Amino acid sequence: MSSLSDAKIKELEIKANDIRQSIIEMLLEAKSGHTAGPLGMADIFTLFYFHILKHNPKDPFWADRDRLVLSNGHICPVLYASMAHSGYLPIEELKTLRKFGSRLQGHPHREYLPFVENSSGPLGSGLSQAVGMALADRMDKKNNDRFIYCFMSDGELNEGNSWEAIMLAGKLKLRNLIAIVDRNNIQIDGYTEDIMPLEPLANKWRAFNWHVIEVGGHDFRTLNEAVEEAQSIFEEPTVIIAHTISGKGVKEFERDYKWHGMPPNREQAEIALKELRENRPA
């Protein structure tokens, strides 16, 4: 993993815009699915799949690859789009999202898409899966330069299972585990601080013996620096609390919890795609 040049950042900005367009096209075709989270996480997924992750789309089962565990599986359109744009599957296949017989289910499913690292659905389970992977690597005494990344939503921190995993990882000092929390402040019923307040969130993770980094979720350079810092911590696991804008890239969708689980209709999708195309870096 290396620092980012201005040219590389420009390349990532273009790729993130392309991925956002794919997300809108997928949701329109499916007529169901989640809009806000996938758009909000597009920059983070782009940074990982096109700069940070040690992986190989031509050899998806490479034993020494990093592992990316998606806990909040409902944002899978951004996972599928990122994997397609990086070469794991044809981009045309994205429009089969949620269709009968498709590999691209409404939550990632290893039975249908074996090169995703985990099946997900029930919120709060992903970090436990990632803890198991990180602990297995320690027990095997290998892959000391391999990291297990767990992408999580802030809303799923309402789940007790999340905190059991947080507590265990802190106890075991799993330094090869890095969690990224999508702190977009929304969940399906409203804003997180209205439904079940999470703050002071950073202090809660620290109390469970995690190293905590807070960062803006749309600045590639600072995000990359946060991951570099996380990789350098040897005494404890690290959580990166990434402050994102839900629905990022489409003004009508941004910061509105109603778009958490709602797809755009044709008119809304056309407006969104027009906005994204006009704002695509030249």
Task: Write down the domain spans for the chain.
Answer: 6-278
Is 1.10.10.10 the CATH classification of the domain at 6-278?
no
Which region, left, alpha or beta, applies to residue 165 given φ > 0 means left and ψ of -120 to 50 means alpha? alpha
Task: Calculate Rg over the CA atoms of the chain.
Answer: 18
Rounded to 5 degrees, what are φ and ψ at 100?
-60, 125
User: What per-residue confidence (pLDDT) applies to 26?
Assistant: 98
If one counts every other C-beta atom within 10 angstroms of the C-beta of residue 163, the result is: 16
Per-residue pLDDT of the chain (282 residues; tens, 9 = 90+): 688 999 999 999 999 999 999 999 999 999 999 999 999 999 999 999 999 999 999 999 999 999 999 999 999 999 999 999 999 999 999 999 999 999 999 999 999 999 999 999 889 999 999 999 999 999 998 767 899 999 999 999 999 999 999 999 999 999 999 999 999 999 999 999 999 999 999 999 999 999 999 999 999 999 999 999 999 999 999 999 999 999 999 999 999 999 999 999 999 999 999 999 999 998
CB neighbourhood size of 141 (10 A): 7
Please tell me the pTM assigned to this model: 0.97
